[in-house]
Structure 1
Amino acid sequence: MMKTISHMPKGYVCPFCQVTMGLDVPGKGTKQNDVIFQNDYVTAFVASKWWPNNKGHVLVVPNQHFENIYELPPEYAAEIHRAAQLTAFAMKDTYSCDGITTRQHNEPAGSQDVWHYHLHVYPRYKKDLFYLTKGIQTNPDKRIMYAKKLRTWIENHLHK
């Protein structure tokens, strides 16, 4: 394996580690109400930053801190993609979206800005202008409805 350089600033407090440990991120950051799925390996939650035409997108993160894809063990990668697929099915059914996009960023040149591996799962709609828009921070109260829909779907379908 290749040795990678950490891009975390000194004293970095990882917001995703806070979420996986059952804590709320201060301000408009992720709250425990945003969590839609968690197992021993991963946590999935409605993101606190939304794209204007793709509301309710989800982040899937490993419960253990890995900065990027270079550090991510294969067993975590498999669980992340299982959770992403489960999220995609839940979005298709509850959001009535036309498609799904997943994205993942590594290192500053790859547009990574949170130093904990995470996979985005976006609901997509015809003519949504996804690649022409940017994310904006949302109010936690607006995320509750989306999280509840996805969490309920997952709870109802996970063991069937």
Structure 2
Amino acid sequence: MLHEPENYHCPFCLLLSGVENQRGKSRTADIFYKDEFITAFIASHWLANNPGHVLMTPIGRGARGICG
């Protein structure tokens, strides 16, 4: 069962599929690690006093419906 609004495009799904999202702030160049289970990327835009932090997202439908 999906819970996102109609016509919603998940920014993580777009990033993981290599699509540059005009509304999103993360870019495919921010990805520094990817394998069949997880993708890790730098998110430098969330915290004003922090030059960057790492976000990791699971890949695959088995991971609670996260992108893949």
- State the TM-score, normalizing by the size of structure 1: 0.35
Task: Give the letter aligned to residue 25 of structure 1.
Answer: N
Give unmatched runs, 5+ long, in structure 1: 73-115, 118-160
- The structure having more radius of gyration, on CA atoms, is 1
Q: Secondary structure at the match of 1:49?
A: coil
Match of 2:28 among 14, 19, 32: 32
Distance 1:50 1:43, change over 3 A: same
Q: Greater strand share, 1 or 2?
A: 2
| CA RMSD in angstroms, aligned pairs only | 2.7
Partner of 1:50: 46
Runs of at least 4 residues of structure 1 off by over 3 A? Answer: none
CA deviation string 1:94-143 (max 9, x = no partner): xxxxxxxxxxxxxxxxxxxxxx58xxxxxxxxxxxxxxxxxxxxxxxxxx
Matches within 5 A, 1:16-27: 16-27=12-23
Q: Greater helix share, 1 or 2?
A: 1
Query: How many pairs are equivalent?
Result: 67
Matches within 5 A, 1:95-110: none
**Distance in 1, Cα, partners of 2:7 & 2:24:** 21
CA deviation string 1:12-66 (max 9, x = no partner): 1111111111222214521111111100111111125321122211211122257
Sequence identity percentage: 33
Higher relative contact order (CA 8 A, sep 6+): 1
Give unmatched runs, 5+ long, in structure 2: none
Q: Is the 8 A contact 2:44 2:50 kept in 1?
A: no
Partner of 1:107: none
- State the TM-score, normalizing by the size of structure 2: 0.71
Q: Secondary structure at the match of 1:19?
A: helix
